Amino acid sequence: MFEASKRLQKLPAYLFAEMDRKKKRLISEGMDIIDFGIGDPDLPTPANVIEAMKKGIENPIFHKYPLGKGTYAFRKAIADYYRQHNDVELNMDEEIVVLIGSKEGIAHLPWALLNAGDVSLVPEPGYPVYHIGTILAEGMPFFLPLKKENQFLPDFGEIPDDILSKTKILYLNYPNNPTSAFADKDFLIDTIDFCKKRNILLAYDAAYSEIYFGEKPVSFLSLPGAKDIGIEFHSLSKTYNMTGWRVGWACGNKDIIAALAKIKENIDSGTFEAIQFAGIEALTGKQDNISELREIYRRRMGILVDSLKEAGFDVAMPEGTFYCWVKIQGGSIETAGHLLEKIGIVATPGVGFGPSGEGYLRFSVTVPEEKIKEGVRRIKEWLKK
């Protein structure tokens, strides 16, 4: 009998995988499921990107190992995009590494920086990969509660000195999954100063930076001193409906980018160059689809929020992302389980993102408007019983 490693045994069951298994079982039993869960865009990848991919696949140059930090052309497109959209200058040779989706880079980052017992500061509720990557690197996650009374921003003053002395990485993610909170400029400037004073790397997850309904969120890397202590993870997944394509990048501090690239050189062989070729078209081609996508999510979110308010839930219209963080009465796992088993509604239990997520459900609006309306109708009927 073979036994999993101790580090693997420390990992919790991956929340989305557990939910998906239960959902598939119910579908096989004939239940009509409306999935507000994982947040996988339901709209197609833009046609111009698909056409670029077709051309890329037919090019034999792209059939070889895609070694290195990514193709020159894709890294240039990333640098140009950051200059035009975020007012950020990036050295494409030293400050960008292409990833097999940002999740991969986030998971591998601790391997590049942490020794056994070193600490990562991990916001919770938050994306589980921040603390999972830390555990796999034999580091120690220290959780920073994100609470409504603090606008879902961490309070660095609550971190003990003995933890700070061992801290190497701080993870942040704004616009935030799962709370949909935004971080303002003053908070980010203070955070850069906090990290500089303590020689902590700020790993900023910007996957949702283009999904906003009002004012564009602040670009972390555009702030003074950001590249001295930080890198940013980004992805084509949410902005261009390319979750299954698995392509993203990290950019920022050149020493950290070099360390992450070295990890990747020894573990994977890079991102298929035909996908990078399509990524160039996504970043440099027409961008009308992004504003259209924002409007679709804004309209869907308005329907969801208004309907949930009518049903008696404590919920506010988010500034962005396609997530709605909904306060509930009772346990989140129990409530999510009842919704799925009784009325075929998938909502993600907040506690799956960390202890501070207890008492919340996360709803995603990556479903058509009619499905949103039907889903909330079912919830209202269920609450009446």
pLDDT (tens digit per residue) in 290-311: 999 999 999 999 999 999 999 8
pLDDT at 383 over 80: yes
pLDDT of residue 38: 80
Angle, CA 153 vertex, CA 148 and CA 156 arms, to 5°: 125
198 with 223: CB under 8 angstroms? no
As a whole number of angstroms, the distance between CA 25 and CA 96 comes to: 42
Token output for 242: 């390319």
Token output for 225: 């001193």
Nearest Cα to 287, choosing from 188, 203, 224, 210?
A: 210
Could you count the other beta carbons within 10 Å of the beta carbon of residue 57? 15
Query: Span 334-358, mean pLDDT?
Result: 92
321 with 180: CB under 8 angstroms? yes
Token output for 192: 């850069």
pLDDT in tens, 178-208: 999 999 999 999 999 999 999 999 999 999 9
Question: Cα-Cα-Cα-Cα dihedral of 102, 106, 112, 118, to 10°?
Answer: 170
As a whole number of angstroms, the distance between CA 264 and CA 109 comes to: 10
- Residues 6+ away with beta carbon under 8 Å from 137: 110, 111, 114
As a whole number of angstroms, the distance between CA 130 and CA 133 comes to: 6
Where is pLDDT greater, at 2 or 96?
A: 96
Domain with CATH 3.40.640.10 in the chain: 47-284
Could you count the other beta carbons within 10 Å of the beta carbon of residue 290? 16
pLDDT at 1 over 80: no
**345: part of which helix (H) or strand (E)?**
strand 345-346
**Residue range 6-45+288-384, CATH number:** 3.90.1150.10
Share of the chain above pLDDT 70, in %: 99
pLDDT in tens, 257-270: 999 999 999 999 99
pLDDT at 168 over 70: yes
**304: part of which helix (H) or strand (E)?**
helix 288-310
pLDDT of residue 350: 94
Nearest Cα to 106, choosing from 187, 23, 203?
A: 203
Nearest Cα to 212, choosing from 131, 116, 123, 317?
A: 317
Report the mean per-residue pLDDT for the chain: 94
pLDDT of residue 15: 65
Peptide bond into 128 cis (omega under 30): no
pLDDT in tens, 98-110: 999 999 999 999 9
Could you count the other beta carbons within 10 Å of the beta carbon of residue 261? 22
Peptide bond into 178 cis (omega under 30): yes
Evaluate whether the domain defined by 47-284 bears CATH number 3.40.640.10: yes
Angle, CA 322 vertex, CA 195 and CA 316 arms, to 5°: 85
User: In Å, what is the CA distance from 77 to each residue of 94, 226, 276, 284, 368?
Assistant: 15, 21, 10, 7, 32
Q: Residue 35, exposed/middle/buried by CB under 10 A (0-12, 13-18, 19+)?
A: buried
Domain with CATH 3.90.1150.10 in the chain: 6-45+288-384
pLDDT at 115 over 70: yes
